[in-house]
A and B are shown apart, each in its own frame.
Chain A
């Protein structure tokens, strides 16, 4: 069966906007935009928001939302940092254990979210609002509000190193994109996620165990948060509660801009990647123009509204025709 994942016009609109933004930025920043430095800078910045957006995307496809992704990432990052600090004498083993810890903690929180939503029956937005507040609190209690900082070179490599000229975080991002694509396209769970997002009742009656699928969805979301956590603590060279809080609502924007429906049922990884690149082009380009980062935020908001309005107008025309 073929999935009507995203209508063609939406991808087209998005691609056109991406190219337009790229051209505009090249024209506005002659000689500075297309430099290796700037392109590298973009490649190092994009993965953090990108992987977090993947964490948001999966749950949005099922028609849910996960407000706890940043809190989860911070909990995972803090746990990993504690492990790294405790095992400073053996950096290699420490790193492996830290990654495992980050994934275990974030996966654990994902399972808690999934249980609350699928089995207790709390609306996703409320369940994850609760766990977001709870784990933000736990993170503050554990760290007493302080920063845990100073990691070994091996850890710093995750966020700042390059492999054969390619920034390592970009590789992590690419790997995440491939994993998510495979989950969504090639597994039963992925297929069921789209179905639940389109019509949960019909899905239940077609013999799918909705609760189990939802539990796995939130587990996957948690694991991506954990993956983002490793990139984050490496790039900041520290872990703290409250890092990246401003990313939360931006991940929803990035996902929706990429064609993920906030009502569920639609969304492709490729669309989200295009939307992430567009947002990054805007932010890097304006940064070169010395425009305030808050202006960039405002422009992101404006672009978002613009895309939704254009899509709506195209849709209405097609229906008439």
Chain B
């Protein structure tokens, strides 16, 4: 029980439950299966990106370029599919390939040239996104291949409302959950997953116990790229149009969701369950505001407050816990970041 209270996830869950009670008391429509399934579908895009971000954060890095990667993969894939026909499977495969490639570039630059991840990925974001807009001329794609629509309508479980309208769990939600299971498996039960935690916790120690840090880093950023690409296709499935400028600019929201779920920006900490709760917390805030008929202009104010209060609370606890130590525990991560950046200075 005490262990449970120490876990960050417990607090996020508590906040979610409190919010849910509050929203339901204003609008009972919140606590319906229909609304829940809808939330799980419309947030699959953020959720899939969040899995990638979680891996990057656990490895001690950060990625700002994933929204650009997602858009490029989405845009190129849809264009090619429109030209040659293709299928849904082909679309996912091609997107993932592009994503892995772009992610690999990040991983390689970060590790080979010791450029801090935030700088590398801001630079590649500008590079990728700039080129995308130049070559696409900013054009939106309004017609997608027909299988994009039929695939998006697939439900793996169909129920019907009181007045006979069908609803259920979308295939998109299923993809998200399958990827979360895969991510959880990788992180907890494979050598690769444990190595990612090790690299994020302490690069030098990881190196000394024989972990190939470059391989881990390149894998992590490639995985981020792959997931960004899947998210890009999912976005196309959700909105049925492709806009080159609709995703870029949302990077920080995804990172915020993952951090709300307990991942640390200094690496080594984070879980898929926590990440899911973080994504859902922000989703519920937005959904609840709509259901409580609060004007949309207030959305950012609430999200900002949720981030500050929730992260502030856990930071405050961590600060108080560490204040008794002679060597400030807060400084431990710094050694790590100095290590990663050491070569570039």
Contacts and interface: CB of A to CB of B under 8 A. Distances in A.
Are A and B genuine complex partners? yes
Interface of A: 7, 63, 65, 67, 116, 120-123, 125-127, 129-138, 140-141, 144-145, 199-201, 204, 245, 249-250, 252-253, 256, 261-263, 266, 292, 294-302, 304-305, 308-309, 311-313, 315-316
A295 B137 CA distance: 11
B304 A201 contact: no
Given A120-B315, A134-B300, A249-B64, A263 B130 contact: no
8 contacts: A120-B316, A129-B252, A141-B297, A200-B328, A249-B64, A250-B126, A305-B124, A315-B344
B255 interface: yes
Contacts of A137: 297-304
A310 B128 CA distance: 21
A141 B298 contact: yes
Contacts of B125: 249, 301
Contacts of A299: 130
Interface in B222-261: 249, 252, 255-256, 259
Per DSSP, chain B at the interface is helix
Contacts of B116: 262-263
B79 to A, nearest CB: 18
B328 A201 contact: yes
A292 B133 contact: yes
A301 B307 contact: no
B129 A294 contact: yes
Contacts of B319: 120-121
Nearest to B344: A312
A140 B328 CA distance: 40
Contact of A304 (B123, B305, B330): B123
A228 B11 CA distance: 39
B1 interface: no
Interface of B: 64, 109, 113-116, 118-120, 122-131, 133-134, 249, 252, 255-256, 259, 265-266, 297-305, 307-308, 311-312, 315-316, 318-319, 327-328, 330-331, 334, 337-338, 341, 343-345
A249 B118 CA distance: 10
Given A309-B109, A315-B344, 11 more contacts: A122-B311, A127-B308, A137-B298, A141-B301, A199-B334, A253-B119, A298-B127, A302-B127, A304-B119, A305-B109, A305-B120
Contacts of A133: 256, 300, 303-304, 307
B265 A125 contact: yes
A296 B126 CA distance: 9
A256 B123 CA distance: 11
A16 B15 CA distance: 54
Which among A63, A250, A308 has the highest number of chain B CB atoms within 10 Å? Answer: A308
A132 B311 CA distance: 14
B222 to A, nearest CB: 18
Contact of A252 (B118, B130, B134): B118
